[in-house]
Structure formats: C-alpha cells, structure tokens
Amino acid sequence: MTALRPETFPTPSAAPTVPGGTSLAARTPVRSAGPVVTELRLSAFASHRGAAFPIGPVTLFGGPAGSGKSSALRAYEALARLGGGDPLDEVFPDPAACVPEGAAADAQGRRGFRIGCTADGPAGPVRLDVAIQAEPTLRIVGERLTGSGETLLTTALRDPGRATVQAAWHTAGAVPVTRAPLPDDRLGTALLPLRVAGRTEGQLRVLAAAEQMVVALRSVFACEPQPQWMRAPVHVGDDRLRRGCDNLAAVLERTRAQCVQRHARLVAAAHAGCAGTVTALGVERLGDGSLRAMLGRGGGRATPVERLGDGELRYLALALVLLTGPEAVAVDTAGEVPSAMQTLAVLADGLDRDLDGGQLRELLALAVSVGATGHLRLIGTVTEPNAERARETPGVTVVDLEP
C-alpha cells in the first residue's frame, strides 16, 4: 500500500500522559460493545497545548477554575458533532475562543486550533487529527486519518480562494492514491463512506477506519440537567430525553412501561440519592393532558418533582441517563449498527454541580456498574474537592489538570 505524505500533525505518543505528570496508562480495560474514543488530543485548543488525555469507561477531569476542564469536554463534543456531519460554523459558533491565548497570526492573518482523538475497535486504534482555521475565515485546513501506522486520508488547503480542501486517500488498485476536492466546512472522514467505493483492499481499509471513527464519535450525549426547566409539566410523547432533561416526566413514563428492570434500578438509585424514602417513580396526568413526574413515598403519598431541590433533580436526571442509555436519549446513533454493538458516551460538564458527596458517590458507582457492560461511558468534569472523592470509587479515572 502506498503511503501518503504525512502532514504537520502531532506524531503518536507511546504512552499518553496527563499534564502534571500523572500517568494513566496502566488500567484494567473494559471491553466495549462497539468502537469507542480512547484518547482525546488537544494539540492547540483554548488553554491546552500538546495535551493527550486517555479516556476510559468513567473519566473525570478535575482541577481548579481555569484549568481547562470544560474546554476538554467542549473539544470532545465538537469532534462528535463533526463526526455526525454537522457543519463547522454550527459546531464552532465562536471559533476565536478556541484559539490558544497568545497565539500569533501568520503573515496572512491566519490563526487556528488543532484537536484530535483515537478510536479503538475492530480496525484497531485509528487516529484522527484536525487543523481548523478560525481567522480570518472559519474552515478545516488539514485532516489526517491514520491506522496501523499508515496514513489513510489527508486533506490540505491548496487554494485559499476556494471553499474546498484537496483530499487524498488510499486506493491500492491501478491508481494507488485517489485525489478529490472535499468541502472545507465538513469533516472529510465523515464523508468517506459516501465517496469511497470499497472495491480494493486499500479502499476497504480506509472505509473500515473511517466508519469506526464515525461510529465512535456519533453516539455522544451531552447532558446538562436544568432543574429550573425540569419542574414544569411536559407534553405526552416527548420521550427522547433532551440535553437539559426538561422532558423528564415523559421519559419516565416511557421507561416505566418499556424498561421494567432498568426502571426498578432507577427507583433504587432515587431512594439512595433523594431525601426521604422513595418507593416508586411515576407520572401524573394533569387536566390539560400534560405530565408531571412524581416520587412515590409509600403509604399512598407522593411528591411532585417540582418540590425537589436542584441537587436531587440533577441527580435523578443523570441516573436516568446512565440507566437508559441510547434508547431514551436524544442522540443520533449510527442506525446501521445493531444496538448490541453500540456504546453511548455521556458528557457531563459540571457533573458534581449541586450534588453532595453521597449523591456523587452513588452516581459514580452506578456509572461504573453500567459501564462494565461495555454499552456506556461517562466523561465529566468535577471540582477539586470532588476529584479527591472520585478517586475513592474503583473504576473511575481522574485526570488532574493545572491552570
């Protein structure tokens, strides 16, 4: 197979390390149901430079304010959206904020940032690295997909006057390399399944690597429970949990009817993390046909969720996400992949917000338990004090960041 000329992307490191010197390479692996992201690289993004973070089944970024916890999750979600085919301007509405502080423009006034990841699966470790120009025009100026030590796809900006990049990928047939223009506002890797015929050995390898990366990136759900929204009644049938979890009641009605065992585990989790005794989780249909969630207290008593505190509501929503997986959340999973081979990655910035220590421990233990099946991964951020608590839970990886 003819190798493509490597572009100026970071070279693979033998063993990823975390800033501050903490090595997280020696971990007992959990076999995932399908392709998963195992490393996040922020070569030049916001406050990060030359950073590589291992991503395990339950990974938490800890550190003081300004250490880059939220920006790490923001980069992960951006890669996921690009892998799903979203246009660049929707993924990065404020691209200048992603450029490392103090980064100088070149002679043409150009500044940008670089992000990437590694996805493990049947094709082995596959690396994706993307260079994005933020100024003066937002565009992808370079992309590289590699697997088995070979570069399978490269793109480069050849003519700044055109809204395209020149792409080259392996063919390994009569023509060893195929070259074609691709749009500069879409991830080329996500477009390859539509452009590569798959007739030669080289094309099949390119397709396998691209599809593995896309599947690993697409099944991502960014969860930001908003208690002030969760207290309002919701419409019947709105049962795909949204990012803010404001349609909690409709999702509970669905899980109670369709996921009996997982719903029972959710009731047990609610009992462990909410004040007082919780014997049931259900819904009440109001006069206008809308639904509100209720906690059964035993003896015929019930508490509407609007009476719960912010921490209890956030805890309940996060437990629901961890237990239901991709079947009940609003995420664009790969429809062509059987559910038995899909893994949902839950992103939770500020995972510990409004939670007490006991609630956080319960959630992390639940995430580890559910993650052991290989169908769910949790990547979140926590404050410094709670990072120390998280280390006490076996199976949780804590990445320490410094400002």
pLDDT at 26: 34
pLDDT at 222: 94
Per-residue pLDDT tens digits for 311-360:
999 999 999 999 987 666 766 555 545 455 578 999 999 999 999 999 99
d(CA 160, CA 197) in angstroms, rounded, equals 29
Long-range contacts of 254-263 (CB under 8 A, 24+ apart): 254/328, 255/320, 255/324, 255/328, 256/281, 256/282, 256/283, 259/324, 259/327, 259/328, 262/323, 262/324
Host H or E run for residue 39 = strand 36-45
Those residues of the chain that have pLDDT short of 50 are 1-28, 336, 338
CA atoms within 13 A of residue 359's CA, in its CB half-sphere: 21
List strand residue ranges (DSSP E) for 157-279, in order. Answer: 164-170, 177-183, 220-222
pTM: 0.89
Output the six-digit token pair for 140.
């992808």
Q: What is the dihedral of CA 223, 261, 302, 241, to 10 degrees?
A: 20
Per-residue pLDDT tens digits for 131-190:
999 999 999 999 999 998 899 999 999 998 999 999 999 887 667 889 999 999 999 999
